Each structure stands twice: as C-alpha cells, then as structure tokens.
Chain A
Amino acid sequence: MPVLQIEGVTKRYDRTLAVNDISFSVASGRLFGLLGPNGAGKTTSIRMITYITTPDEGRVLFQGKPVGTWSQDRMGYMPEERGLYKKMKIGEQLIFMAELKGLSPSEARKQVRYWLERFGASDWANKKTEELSKGMQQKVQFISTIAHNPDLIILDEPFSGLDPVNAELLREVILELKNIGKTILFASHRMEQVEQMCDDICLIAHGKAVLTGSLREIKRSFGRNTVEVEFEGSDEWITQAGGLHGISVKARTRNRAELVIAQEAQAQKILQMAIGAGVAIIRYELMEPSLNEIFIRTVASDTPPSTSNFVAS
C-alpha cells in the first residue's frame, strides 16, 4: 500500500497556479524523487503533504487517511532553507524539536543522544548553533528531521550547500534509513545528484506532473539513445556521423565522442563508421539518457517556455 497518495491536488496563490492537478503516490520503503526546476511547485506540494497548507482541490492521504496534525508527527521534514535557533544549545534544541513531534521527554533525550553520537557530534550538545560551522549545522538540521523516528522523511534539496565529504555521509545515512524500511521523499532540481539514488520519480514543471513512475521503467521507455565512443586516431568520422539523419553530436574531444541517436538501430551504424574510418576503438557504449535529458525532452514537447534556468543548473 502506498504510504502517501496525492490525488488531483491543486493550489492557487492569488491568481497563480502553484500546483495544477497533480497526482502521484509514494510506495512504502522507496526512495521517491520529486524533481523539477525552481518554481515548479515542489515546495508547495511538500507544504501540503506536511499539512502546513491545505490544497484548494484534491486530497493528500498519508497511510490511507487524510493528512492532519496526526500525520505531522509521523513525518520528518527538512526544508530547503535550513533553520535552527541561533542562540539555543544544540541538545536542548533537538530535544525541543523531537518533543514537538510527540516524543516524551525521556524518549526525545535518548534519540537525540543516539543520533548525535551516530554523527560524531556528541560534544556539540552544549554548544549554541552560532558556534558551529555550516557543515555541522547541516548535520544538526538532519538530526532534527529524523530524531523522532518518522515513517516518511521529506528532504527538500538535501545536498545543497554540502561539501563532498558531508554529502557522502548524508547519502550513506539516507540509504541506511531506507534499508530499515523508511520511506524517503526527495525534492530537488539537481537531477544528476539524486538520479542514482531514486527508485521512483515524479517530474514536475509549471505546477504539473509531466512524468511519474519507476525511474528504471521511465528510462527504459525512453530507450538507449546515447552512444559513447573512446578511440585513438583521426576524429573526422565524428563530423561525418553527425551529418547523418537522426544522429547528432552531443559532445566531442580529440578521442572521445558522445552522439545522440533517434533509433537504437543507428548505434550499429556509428560503430561501423568508426571502424571504417580506421580508428582504434578503446570503448564503445550504448547508454540510457540522463534524467536531465529526459526531463528536457519531456518538458520541451509539452510546455515551450522558460526551462532555461533549469538547463543552466
């Protein structure tokens, strides 16, 4: 049974449609990616899931029942804009947050102690937020999201502002949480950062869901459309191949080429051309498109304007 069901949800602010008739569901124990450019409606959707706001139309179900104050205690939400009380001690702050989620004082203390230890942060308990570095604050923020043992963990742009070491640590913890059966919902506009992790995705643009389903199936349905060739020898054949109908050059260097093909059969054609040109082939691969490409292709086909800021990032 899905943990979370979004059914025909619409939300308007003044005259703008922030979310326009979106539906998707998140299955238990999966890593779900809510992906789309800035302003697509990700945060608005999350706010309705977390019962911060309510939809104008449609409904949001958590574990089969409409969301409400009861479901707030079962979710952990880390907003894109991180926030902690600057002058409050880390320990007190985390216990307060956990108690707000319905934990008893003793249980809250126990959980906070456990997680601070897990992140090697036990010495921080008596420090104030303002005494900690950015990276340390990120960890504290993450602990405050999961300390109350929620069933659904919602992370809005979880990797933004993290250095590679902390990003890796976070990735590990997220997978660990998934392994113990937690459901995790990601929201991000950096698709390449999350595409290796997600099981299922919902791509949204301009408040509408444009693509929903299992990441693997979506990729499969788009076919393998990119050919990567590493070689030694003259690179003239690349220009020739790029001139053919249905084949275009995506990237090239002196001995590496990435070509996008319209039909999978054309992959063979490229290999023949390379061999025919007499170059020594080091590597040849027929690849699935990246999520980024899938998104751009999907959005370009149904909504023309302004994906530019998204492509740039």
Chain B
Amino acid sequence: MKIKLVFLREFMQRIKSKGFILSTLLAPFGLVVFLGLTIYSVSLGIEEDSAQKIAIKDETGVVAALLKLPQSYTLTLAQTTEETLRKQVLEGKLDGYLFIPSDALKGDAKLTYFSGGGGGINKQIQLQSAIEDAIREARLKQANIPDNVKAIFAANTRLEMKEITASGEKADTTGALTGIAFAVAFLIYMMMFIYGSLVMQSVIEEKLNRVMEVLISSVRPFELLMGKVLGMGALGLVQMLAWSAVSMAMTTAMGPLLLLFFDPTKMNLPDTASQQQVLDSAGFAIPELSPMLFIWFVLFFVGGYLLYASYFAAVGSAVESPQDAQQLMMPITFLIIIPMLFINTVIMNPDGTTAMILSMIPFFSPILMPARIAATDVPFWEPAVAFVLLVFTFIGAIWVSARIYRIGVLSYGKKPSMRDLIKWVRTA
C-alpha cells in the first residue's frame, strides 16, 4: 500500500526532527516550571506580606484600638491633621491612612482608606475584614451586648464539599476538575490547530519543492493526502501520549512536591498533619482521573484532528504560501474558534442542555465533549453518539478535501479564491 509509504515517510522524517523532540521534551518541563512558580507564588502569598505603615485618624476614639491586622502592619494613631497625613503619604513616609469618621458606629458605616495607590488586592481584603470586625466589636461593646451573643457574631461558618464514592467519601474536586476540563479543551484546540497547520505547511512545501509532480505520477492524490494526514496525526498522538505519561507521573509526584512549599505550622495545623490535611487546608485537592476520560480524549482528538487536518491539507494544496492560505482558512478557523467561545458556559454548567447540545455538534464536539467528560459525569451514550456523528462528518470532509486537493496540487500561479475551491469540488 502506497498510503503506508507516505505515512511512514511523514512520520519518520518528523519524529527525528529537532523541533519535534524539543517540543515533546520541553513542553512538560515548561509546565512543571509554570506550575511550580504558580504554587510557589501562592505559598508566598500565605507566608509573607510586605511591611505596611499605616496611620489611623480615629474620630470615634474606640475603633483603632480594636483593629486586628497581621504583624506586617505598623499602625500609628495620627494626631496631626489630614493635610499632614496626605503629605506624608505622597512623600512615601506612610503607605496610607485610615479615616474613621465620628459617625462610624451608626447605621451603615463608611470609612475611607487613603493610599498612594497599589498594594494589591490582598491588602484591601485584609483591611476590609479587619475593619468590619473592629466596627462590629465596638458597636457590640457600646450596646452592652452579653458575651454569649458576641460569641454568636464571632462564630465562623464554613461549607465543606465532600464527594460520596463507593469506598466512602473524599474531598470534592470540582475546582480541580474544572481546571482539568479547561486544560483538556485548550490542549485539543491547540493540537488541532498546530498539527493542522503542520499538515498544510507540509503540503505547501511539497508543492513549492515541486516534488508534488513526481509524487502524483507515482501515487494517487487521495493516498498522498491520507498518508500525510494520518502520518502527522500519529505524530500528534505520540506527542500527546508522551505528555500524558509525564503529566500522570507529575500528578502522582504532585502531593509530595506541593508539600515542599507549605509549612503546616504556618497554617495553624499540627506538625504531624498528613499530606491530605495540609493540601486540603491550602485549597489544593488532587482529583483522580478516570481512564474513560483518557480514552474519549484520545478518540475525540483523533476525530477532530482528522476532520480539520484534511481541510488544512486541501487548502495547502491550493496555495503557494501560508499567507495566501489565510483567506481560505477563514471558514475552518471560524468553526474551531466557536467552541472556544462557549467553553466557559459548557464547563461551568456541564450538565445543562446548552452544554449537551453544543458538545454533540461534530465541528465542536472534539473540543467540548472531552471538556464536559472531565468536568462532570456524562452518560456513555452522549460521547458515543457525538463520536459517530464526528466520524460521518469526517468522511464527508475528506471527500470534499480530496476533490480540492486533486486539482490544487496541479495549480500554480493564480491564487485561488473560495469560489474556485467550491468550483473544484463540483467539477473534480
């Protein structure tokens, strides 16, 4: 079979190339570095705050003493006028000053914090909650509320999410699963685009090199098209599998890795706290991924890739440079981008009707269905039906593409328009 020869050439030539080896090895490494930095920065946020010097102009005379802020804040009671404080802020002697008006303890109080700007959202949240607490306490005190009622106000309520499983229960991982769903969608989107463009470039190269004429005097254009598309697809699959293996290894190693960044004693946990406890309280839950997700992920990637790559190849055959291809790529670019516009809706509400319908449409399902499967439990028939639809659409697409390709490979000179392509499909 000549398809096999074309397939092997495409696959072997690329898999040996520096570009492929580097991107396969470096992408997971880059991801580790990125994740590491993210986690590190989160742990920094927990551990340390930059020193803040804040003056308080307290007209009530009681609130300032009740303010409880982290140690990094240096508070001083301002004796001077607001004019002087403003000047000090501008000169950088103070990071800001808090103005507590005399009516702060009546009705809906409004206090003002003046600063030189910046400081980040963390500081604002800390100030906001410290002030709320202080004002509440001052008012409770003023109203002579008994201690047991004060305790009611001071009590915290927390909603803990648990997921029931056959073997008991575990911490809910919806947050992490949502993240994974986005990652899955973006990965497939990216890979379809990258590998589709590679197919196109490869076809353009054969045309510009003029190898094409020799090739089509030896192989039928359809075999050439399919061999190339499949060869490149196999390459994409190898790369994805390599990445998956690495990320699975990483998920297993993630727990111990995360622990390096978190010190239980700083999180009000005993020194002996288990890995799970520490990670839970830091807001990290590591989800277990089902093998079904993996299988569907591979199937939809392959289906989606084939659907789009055949058209990429057809466009490549019609033009003589990637620039010329842009206009002809419009319809397909559109179809790939649409699911990305809906990705948020689908992942945030994966069980909704909109999500279900969108994830069944062949041009969108390669991206949306695996994302849904990652985000929630999808009944088996849904991806199964979506996949069958995808396969039929692919067969139609390859038929159209093959007709464009057959004429495209022989046309040089004039840059064809969309109308030309449609004419080729009709007449070929």
Contacts and interface: CB of A to CB of B under 8 A. Distances in A.
A87 B220 CA distance: 23
Given A53-B410, A100-B2, A100-B5, A72 B218 contact: yes
Interface residues of B, number: 20
Contact of A77 (B2, B217, B410): B217
Given A83-B209, A83-B211, A86-B209, A52 B5 contact: no
Contacts of B209: 83-86
Nearest to B210: A83
Contacts of A53: 410
A86 to B, nearest CB: 6
Given A88-B13, A99-B5, A81 B210 contact: yes
A88 B210 CA distance: 14
A198 B2 CA distance: 35
A81 B217 contact: no
Contact of B410 (A52, A69, A96, A144): A52
Interface in B1-50: 2, 5-6, 9, 13
B314 interface: no
A75 interface: yes
Interface string B198-238: 00000001100111111111111000000000000000000
Q: Is the interface of A mostly helix, strand, loop or mixed?
A: loop
Given A79-B210, A81-B210, A101 B218 contact: yes
Contacts, number: 55
A82 interface: yes
A69 B220 contact: yes
A233 B206 CA distance: 62
A144 B216 contact: no
A241 interface: no
Contacts of A69: 220
Most buried by B among A75, A86, A100, A144: A100
A72 B217 contact: yes
B213 A81 contact: yes
A101 B205 CA distance: 21
B331 to A, nearest CB: 24
B425 to A, nearest CB: 16
A177 interface: no
Contact of A50 (B6, B9, B205, B217): B217
Contacts of A77: 213-214, 217
A83 B214 CA distance: 8
A97 B218 contact: yes
Nearest to B2: A100
A114 interface: no
Interface in A50-71: 50-53, 69
Most buried by B among A47, A52, A84, A97: A52
A83 B207 CA distance: 9
Contact of B214 (A47, A97, A99): A97
A96 B217 contact: no
A266 B377 CA distance: 101
Contacts of B213: 52, 77, 79, 81, 83
B131 to A, nearest CB: 67
A52 B13 contact: no
Interface in B90-128: none
A79 B5 CA distance: 22
A194 B23 CA distance: 52
B411 to A, nearest CB: 10
A52 B214 contact: no
Nearest to A105: B5
A84 B209 CA distance: 6
Interface in A79-124: 79, 81-88, 96-97, 99-101
Contacts of B217: 50-52, 72, 75, 77, 79
B211 A84 contact: yes
A139 to B, nearest CB: 15
B242 to A, nearest CB: 23
Most buried by A among B2, B205, B213, B220: B213
A144 B214 contact: yes
B219 A100 contact: yes
Interface in A134-168: 144
For the complex of A and B, 3 pairs with smallest distance between CB atoms: A83-B210, A83-B211, A81-B210
Interface of A: 47, 50-53, 69, 72-73, 75, 77-79, 81-88, 96-97, 99-101, 144
Given A52-B216, A82-B210, 8 more contacts: A50-B217, A53-B410, A77-B217, A79-B210, A81-B210, A83-B210, A85-B211, A96-B9
